[in-house]
Amino acid sequence: MSSSTSNADLQARRTAAVARGVGTAWPVFAARAEGSELWDAEGRRYIDFAGGIAVLNTGHRHPKVVAAVKAQLDAFTHTAFQIIPYEPYIALCEKLNAIAPVGGPAKSLLFSTGAEAVENAVKIARAHTGRPGLIAFSGAFHGRTYLATGLTGKVAPYRTKFGIAPPGIYHVPFPAPTHGVTVEDSLKALETLFRADIAPSDVAAILLEPVQGEGGFLPAPKELWEALRAICDKHGIVLIADEVQTGFARTGKMFGVEHSGVTPDLMTLAKSLAGGFPLSGVVGKAAIMDAADPGGLGGTYAGNPLACAAALAVLEVIEEEKLVERGAALGERMKRKLAEIAQRNDAAPIAEIRGPGAMIAFDVVKTRGSNEPDAEAAKRVTQIAMAEGLILLTCGVYGNTIRLLNPLTISDEILEEGLAKLEKALVQAAS
């Protein structure tokens, strides 16, 4: 193999050419990938428990997705939907409208990134209500654009050096037992916010992730969803479910909000929607979705035809391969294994094994039976795992949460191999 394609040489070129503001978890460079496996520039194999940050629910290069994109590539790659529209965009919106749990007639529109979906959901909510205010939760992650960063409830690294958030954005504490915050605490904080900072009649939308992603894979309690739905109904506020990371079978439901039984007004979609191609969307109640005037929404690459073709194939794969059910089954298997590891006295202490479906996480803690975070130990676990050929991600406000986002198409054999590597990393991290 040429030395110019070694990981070290590529890292040197990356350092010289790429702005340092975009971080990279590992100095390992992808050469090819298939299913749940990835090979680097030096031919080393890895099991992928990161999934491109929850983008690959259907795995790397699913044959059906690849075939759909190749067919679209032979037709055309771009026209700009606002100039010359095309059927794949319409067909995808029809399918999203049919499966969106918004409790009535739905409409959709497409974009390129999750942050773009969030920004446009806010624009739609403001157009519908005529109000400016926005409420999100501490620990939330809604994207990296200016408005989305303002909605994100975590300062470092997302807001560091970038100035204050746009006006009209407020945060309330997210309920999490390990952080000492209850649903009652969150709702009291919201009541205080309404009395002290912004009247509910000035609030356009409340945004909530069914499971906080960067915040630590913390599920939003059913009671919180129910209370927010009642508050939004009372005050005419738009309830937005940010499904960017929780959507498309990851949680053992097609969408994470379905675990609550609550119907949101709008939903933001991205990540696994298109199996690795850049595509996002907003889907919601038709009357709200139509609030913006023609020309007010869109984007040059929004709803790219290649990505639309990929997404249509992804939805077929989810249905044909029963990935909703598979996600639920995988999650149970992973939780059982993690519970076994947690009983080992020779492994790094872990706690709070959690998550719906295959959106699984656990905390690495200082001592067994405690909730005191140990970010350094979590980092060691991921480093050892990487050396063993397993790609892992951390998250959480304390940096001690390890999240598992393997493709839902993973074989039982590769899943077991990956879990064995994880167990080995937890044992070695304790020694």
For residue 286, pLDDT over 50 is answered with yes
Report pLDDT digits (tens) over 174-217: 999 888 999 999 999 999 999 999 999 999 999 999 999 999 99
Question: What is the structure's pLDDT at 3?
Answer: 47
Beta-carbon contacts of 341 under 8 Å, excluding residues fewer than 6 positions away, are 347, 350, 422, 423, 426
Burial bucket for residue 160 (CB in 10 Å: 0-12, 13-18, 19+): exposed
Report pLDDT digits (tens) over 303-338: 999 999 999 999 999 999 999 999 999 999 999 999
* Nearest partner of 264 among 248, 283, 244, 287, judged by Cα: 283
For residue 248, pLDDT over 60 is answered with yes
Question: What is the structure's pLDDT at 206?
Answer: 98
pTM: 0.96
* Domain topology for 3-61+322-430: Aspartate Aminotransferase, domain 1 (3.90.1150)
pLDDT bin (cut points 50, 70, 90) of residue 10 is: very high
Report pLDDT digits (tens) over 262-285: 999 999 999 999 999 999 999 999
Determine contact, residues 333/415, Cβ cutoff 8 Å.
Answer: yes
Q: How far apart are CA 429 and CA 431, in angstroms?
A: 6
Question: Residue 185, Cβ neighbours under 10 Å: how many?
Answer: 16
Phi, psi of 173 (to 5 degrees): -65, 140
* Nearest partner of 206 among 140, 111, 254, 144, judged by Cα: 140
Domain 76-320 architecture: 3-Layer(aba) Sandwich (3.40)
Mean pLDDT of the chain: 96
The four Cα atoms 80, 83, 84, 86 give a dihedral, to 10 degrees, of 50
Phi, psi of 155 (to 5 degrees): -75, -60
Q: Where in the chain is the domain with CATH 3.90.1150.10?
A: 3-61+322-430
Q: Where in the chain is the domain with CATH 3.40.640.10?
A: 76-320
